[in-house]
């Protein structure tokens, strides 16, 4: 398989930078100091001050879209679509990415063991799971990123692809922001989730690029072969 050194280096830098950011935020969240202590109370206060009927309704809708049930069902449909339209490799990439996302959500929550914001600022039912990272944010961001990276390239119109990618990005931001607005997560939980999603998607991007270029080289190599002449006795 073939991967340009520049792309591999860039992916490594993105993944390493994202993980470093998550580690800093995780330590801060666990110790209740540093970055988390500096930004989380202020962002939470701003979110409370900005609350209104329409914004609350929109936040609840975004949270529903990013829920485990909805994202899980949509991810299954995405895997089926990729299997039919792009083949097993891309379907497996999507399945692996969603699996890693789910495992990181559960594993990192247990490692950091950060409590959620108190009931005084929460709008909705009690959630007794840990706060760091945000599962809604991480899983939905990975799913939406997979749609943009693996499914949207099938669209022939470049303008529509760009518009769709922008819409998916805004949706991912909206889902994460809704978790802070509704008082279920601290801002650093959501930021860490986006960083984890970036790391996962960067690796998917590298793998898919390697696969495409390797497949193209195989096809070209096959086209260059000259059939052996048939020798008649």
Output the DSSP codes for the chain. Answer: ----HHHHHHHHHHHHHHHHHHHHHHHHHHHT-HHHHHHHHHHHHHHHHT--HHHHHHHHHHHHHTSHHHHHHHHHHHHHHHHHHT-HHHHHHHHHHHHHHHHHHHHHHHHH-PPPPPTTT--SS---S--SS-HHHHHHHHHHHHIIIIIGGG---HHHHHHHHHHHHHHHHHHHHHHHHTTSS-HHHHHHHHHHHHHHHHHHHHHHHHHHHHHHHHHHHHHHPPPPPPPP-
80: in domain? yes
pLDDT confidence of residue 221: 54
Q: List all residues 6 or more positions away from 158 whose beta carbon is below 8 Å from its beta carbon.
A: none
Total domain count, the chain: 1
Task: Flag the least confident range among 3-7, 83-87, 195-199.
Answer: 3-7
3: in domain? no
119: in domain? yes
The position carrying tokens 């601290």 is 186
231: in domain? no
pLDDT confidence of residue 224: 55
Rounded to an integer, the average pLDDT of 103-107 is 96
82: in domain? yes
Is the pLDDT confidence value at 150 over 80? yes
Is the pLDDT confidence value at 47 over 90? yes
Q: Are 204 and 159 in contact (CB under 8 A)?
A: no
Rounded to an integer, the average pLDDT of 24-52 is 92
Q: How confident is the model at residue 33 (pLDDT cuts 50, 70, 90)?
A: confident
What is each CA distance from 99 to 95, 106, 141, 172, in whole angstroms?
Answer: 6, 11, 13, 18
Is the pLDDT confidence value at 32 over 90? no
Is the pLDDT confidence value at 108 over 90? yes
pLDDT tens-digit series, residues 206-232: 999 888 877 666 555 555 554 555 555
For residues 202-224, one letter each, b for 16 or more C-beta atoms within 10 angstroms of the residue's C-beta and e for the rest, the string is: bbbbbbbbbbeeeeeeeeeeeee
* Distance of alpha carbon 66 from alpha carbon 45, whole angstroms: 23
* Distance of alpha carbon 84 from alpha carbon 80, whole angstroms: 6
Rounded to an integer, the average pLDDT of 104-124 is 93
Rounded to the nearest integer, the mean pLDDT of the chain is 90
Q: Which domain holds residue 145?
A: 10-209
pLDDT tens-digit series, residues 5-19: 888 899 999 999 999
Is the pLDDT confidence value at 153 over 90? yes
124: in domain? yes
216: in domain? no
Is the pLDDT confidence value at 35 over 60? yes
**pTM for this entry:** 0.88
pLDDT confidence of residue 1: 47
Rounded to an integer, the average pLDDT of 182-193 is 96
101: in domain? yes
Tokens of 75: 């991810």
Alpha-carbon torsion, ordered 204, 209, 215, 217, to 10 deg:
-150
Share of the chain above pLDDT 90, in %: 78
């Amino acid at each position: 398989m073939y991967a340009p050194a520049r792309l591999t280096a860039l992916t490594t830098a993105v993944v390493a930078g994202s993980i470093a950011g998550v580690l800093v935020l995780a330590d801060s969240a666990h110790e209740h100091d540093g970055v988390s202590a500096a930004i989380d109370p202020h962002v939470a206060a701003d979110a409370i001050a900005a609350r209104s009927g329409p914004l609350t309704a929109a936040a609840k809708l975004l949270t529903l879209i990013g829920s485990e049930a909805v994202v899980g069902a949509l991810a299954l449909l995405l895997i089926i679509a990729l299997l039919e339209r792009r083949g097993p490799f891309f379907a497996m990439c999507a399945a692996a990415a969603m699996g890693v996302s789910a495992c990181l959500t559960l594993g990192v929550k247990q490692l950091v063991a950060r409590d959620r914001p108190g009931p005084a600022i929460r709008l909705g039912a009690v959630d007794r799971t840990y706060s760091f990272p945000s599962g809604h944010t991480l899983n939905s961001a990975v799913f939406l990123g997979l749609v943009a990276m693996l499914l949207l390239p099938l669209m022939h119109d470049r303008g529509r692809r760009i518009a769709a990618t922008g819409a998916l990005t805004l949706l991912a931001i909206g889902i994460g922001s809704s978790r802070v607005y509704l008082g279920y997560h601290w801002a650093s939980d959501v930021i860490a989730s986006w960083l984890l999603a970036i790391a996962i998607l960067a690796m998917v991007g590298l793998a898919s690029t390697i696969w495409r270029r390797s497949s193209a080289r195989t096809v070209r190599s096959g086209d260059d072969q000259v059939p052996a002449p048939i020798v008649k006795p």
